[in-house]
């Protein structure tokens, strides 16, 4: 993904946060003149924007922090849609399914920046390191969903990394994000081998630092895994010589 596109999306989000703070759900939607309601959506979807009516529909059954993240994501769709330069750059760089995927990632990136300022994330990393412990910690401190922190950590971490949270039995990925320079990717629902260090961390409840591969990938990463409240949080850092 182009770093220029990313920095422009981040700047758009930052501008929006400053112009419309505090970003309550109502103010989030009103900032782009959209109306907002909560209802049922098709399986696997948490929000939708209806351009004709300039209306945003959010899944009524999601937890409130997840709803706020989804809303910010839909607002990012609209902000990008209204930015002709950004839009043409995006269409020059990508097409078809790849365009869809990049657009979704950009909206996630912008939504994360709206709700959790990048500077706060960088300050936390400088103080405590690029650790998965920051996921529940920053989510609690800033009252955002853990998805938001995962996106921000992957984006801002000084060492390129894949950041994820997993849970359930058998263990599967709930959400993941990666540094723009990395190709390693794990999608929602991906499972793990029984002897995977992440499964061991989850089952023993003991944090660990080791080296590990992502499911279905060859590359070895430096892994830090942190279990808490029925979930396991992980940062897979690129190994540096």
Residues near Zn ion (CB under 5 A) are 104, 107
Residue 46 or 185: the one with the smaller Cβ distance to Zn ion is: 46
Radius of gyration of the chain (CA): 18
Residue 107 or 116: the one with the smaller Cβ distance to Zn ion is: 107
> Smallest distance from the beta carbon of 107 to Zn ion, in angstroms?
5
Residue 75 or 166: the one with the smaller Cβ distance to Zn ion is: 75
Output phi, psi for 28, to 5 deg.
-60, -45
> Smallest distance from the beta carbon of 51 to Zn ion, in angstroms?
13
**Tokens (6 digits) for 188:** 């929602």
Write out the H or E segment, with its range, that includes residue 115.
helix 96-115
Residue 75 or 186: the one with the smaller Cβ distance to Zn ion is: 75
| Contacts of the segment 190-198: beta carbons below 8 A, 24+ positions apart | 190/215, 190/216, 191/215, 192/166, 194/170, 196/171, 197/223, 197/225, 198/166, 198/171, 198/223, 198/225, 198/232, 198/234
> Smallest distance from the beta carbon of 233 to Zn ion, in angstroms?
24
Residue 61 or 104: the one with the smaller Cβ distance to Zn ion is: 104
> Smallest distance from the beta carbon of 28 to Zn ion, in angstroms?
15
In a 10 Å sphere around its CB, with 0-12 CB exposed, 13-18 middle and 19+ buried, how is residue 239 labelled? Answer: exposed
CA distance 155 to 66: 19
> Smallest distance from the beta carbon of 106 to Zn ion, in angstroms?
9
């Amino acid at each position: 993904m182009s770093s220029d596109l990313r920095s422009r999306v981040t700047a758009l989000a930052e501008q929006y946060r400053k112009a419309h703070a505090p970003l309550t759900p109502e103010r989030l939607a009103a900032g782009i003149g959209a109306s907002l309601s909560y209802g049922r959506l098709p399986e696997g979807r948490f929000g939708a924007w209806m351009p004709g009516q300039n209306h945003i529909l959010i899944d009524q059954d999601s937890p409130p922090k997840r709803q706020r993240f989804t809303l910010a994501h839909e607002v990012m769709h609209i902000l990008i849609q209204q930015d002709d330069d950004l839009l043409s750059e995006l269409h020059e760089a990508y097409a078809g399914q790849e365009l869809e995927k990049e657009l979704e990632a950009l909206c996630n990136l912008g939504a994360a920046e709206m709700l959790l300022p990048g500077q706060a994330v960088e300050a936390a990393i400088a103080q405590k390191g690029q650790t998965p412990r920051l996921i529940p910690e920053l989510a609690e401190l800033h009252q955002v969903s853990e998805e938001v922190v995962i996106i921000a950590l992957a984006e801002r971490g000084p060492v390129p990394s894949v950041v994820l949270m997993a849970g359930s039995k058998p263990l599967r990925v709930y959400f993941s994000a990666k540094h723009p320079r990395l190709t390693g990717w794990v999608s929602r629902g991906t499972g793990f081998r029984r002897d995977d260090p992440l499964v061991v961390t989850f089952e023993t409840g003991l944090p660990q630092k080791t080296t590990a591969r992502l499911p279905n990938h060859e590359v070895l990463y430096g892994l830090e895994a942190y279990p808490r409240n029925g979930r396991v949080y992980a940062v897979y850092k690129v190994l540096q010589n």
